[in-house]
Amino acid sequence: MTHMRRNVLLLASCQALAMSGTSMLLTVSALVGVMLAPSKTLATLPLAVQFAATTLSTIPASLLMAKIGRRPGFTIGQTIGMAGAVTSAYAIYIGSFWLFMAGALLLGIHNAFWQYYRFAAAEVATEDFRARAISYVLAGGLVAAFLGPQLAKWTADLSAAAFAASYAVIIGLSFTAIVLLQFTRIPDLRHQGVSKAGRPILEIMATPSFIVAAMSSTIGYGMMNMLMTSTPLAMTFCGFAFNDAATVIQWHIVGMFLPSFFTGHLIKRFGVVNVIAAGAALQAVAISFGLAGVDYTNFWLGLTCLGVGWNFMFIGGTTLLTECYTPEERAKTQAAHDFMLFSLVAVTAFASGFLHETLGWQAVNLIAAVPVSAAFLAAVWYGARQARKPVR
């Protein structure tokens, strides 16, 4: 038990380091794009490339780790992150937009690897502790919610070339993660993760448990991302100051990660399906606040509920997913799930601004209500289905 908890703590620390770097880059990337891009319309293209690289790398990253093991795979991912940080910092120093794009590509690949920390936590945990292990690793995001933006502030003007030091910090964060990873003891599942073993992936994806798990985490993450990225635009349009929007987003991030300290306990106490349904219900409440008005309280309460709902749906979906596959089906099932997940996240990140600009804030909420309702109904249906099964 002591070794298991130590492994989870190390993985949570690595998660906090990775997410701190990512949240810092989300703060500065577009600003660097404005500085370097030949046209201001290309300012967010590096961020788009980073999202796309993460999405496309989820499957190769999972299959690679199935062959060489988690710890070597995570180490390679962090090394790629260091290479991306060096490339980006040098691109800023020499003023090269296209080299900066190459750095963003490498950082996106790096992001795909560390997303699997939560699955590694499930693999080091006993079945009884699995949900809490996943939950505790994601709690590392609470550190990142405060550390990432602070790192951006501290490093913005630290070097002669603005923001170059911000990317240099990624080198230190990734190196620290590599050191911590060497002390983890993750089970060697290389012979159980061959992609051609077990059932075909389409057969796995057609099972009710996979469908509900994927709907929970993918819809929960995608709709959260769409509403979160639209909120600053909506608040600005409604006349609120930037600091008001920043405060709402900060409370949203707290709502996303603070529950991680007890979500695993709730899953053990009430069952994973009930927690997923509660998460979808909380996201529906958030949408209701958005539809009810545009006062500061509506935005604040709505985004806080949205964050907690995401936490329940994402951790619940991840936990349910671990019940969908046999050991030899692990790599391809996790890869398929995360490819779907980050594809939708990328789409909603790009679509949210367009939808808000063309249709408005209330329409964005109404659009989000459809898949969130579907996720809730799927969880209720699956729970009822499981309850009807005879007890063995």
Q: What is the pLDDT of residues 132-154, one digit of tens each?
A: 888 899 888 888 878 877 787 78
DSSP state of 391: P
pLDDT band at 252 (very low <50, low <70, confident <90, very high): confident
CATH number for 1-184: choose from 1.25.40.10, 3.30.70.2190, 1.10.150.120, 1.20.1250.20: 1.20.1250.20
In 10 A of CB 47, how many CB atoms? 20
Q: Band of the pLDDT at 230, cuts 50, 70, 90?
A: confident
Band of the pLDDT at 127, cuts 50, 70, 90? Answer: confident
State the average pLDDT over residues 302-307.
95
Written as six digits, the tokens of 152 are 């951006």
pLDDT, residue 297, reads 94
Is 80 exceeded by the pLDDT of residue 242? no
Could you tell me the two tokens for 376? 């809730």
Q: Give the residue carrying structure tokens 């063995």.
A: 392
Helix, strand or coil, per DSSP, at residue 222: helix
Q: Of 154, 166, 168, 181, which is closest to residue 26 (Cα–Cα)? A: 166
Of 32-36, 73-77, 157-161, 209-213, the poorest mean pLDDT is in 157-161
CATH 1.20.1250.20 domain residues, the chain? 1-184, 198-384
Candidates 215, 219, 238, 216; CA nearest to 227 is 219
Residues 154-191 as b or e (16 or more Cβ within 10 Å = b): ebbeebebbbbbbbbbbbebbbebbebbeebebeebee
- Sign of the dihedral through C-alpha 123, 126, 132, 133: negative
Confidence category of residue 190, pLDDT binned at 50, 70, 90: low
Q: What is the spatial distance between Cα 47 and Cα 25, in angstroms, rounded to a whole number? A: 9
Does residue 389 sit in helix, strand or coil?
coil
What distance in Å separates the CA atoms of residue 359 and residue 370, rounded to the nearest whole number? 16
Question: What length does the chain have?
Answer: 392
329 close to 197: Cβ distance less than 8 angstroms: yes
Q: Is the pLDDT of residue 391 over 70?
A: no
Query: How many other CB atoms are there within 10 angstroms of residue 38's CB atom?
Result: 8
pTM of the model: 0.81
Please report, rounded to a whole number, the percentage of residues in the chain having pLDDT higher than 90: 54
Closest by CA position to 361, among listed 195, 244, 231: 231
Is 80 exceeded by the pLDDT of residue 323?
Answer: yes
- Domain 198-384: assigned CATH number: 1.20.1250.20
Element (H, E) at 358: helix 330-359
pLDDT confidence of residue 392: 52
Per the listing, tokens 């409440």 go with 285
Element counts in the chain: helices (H) and strands (E):
16, 0
Instruction: Give the model's pLDDT for residue 287.
Output: 97
Measured distance CA(221)–CA(229) in Å, rounded: 12
What percentage of the chain reaches a pLDDT higher than 70? 95
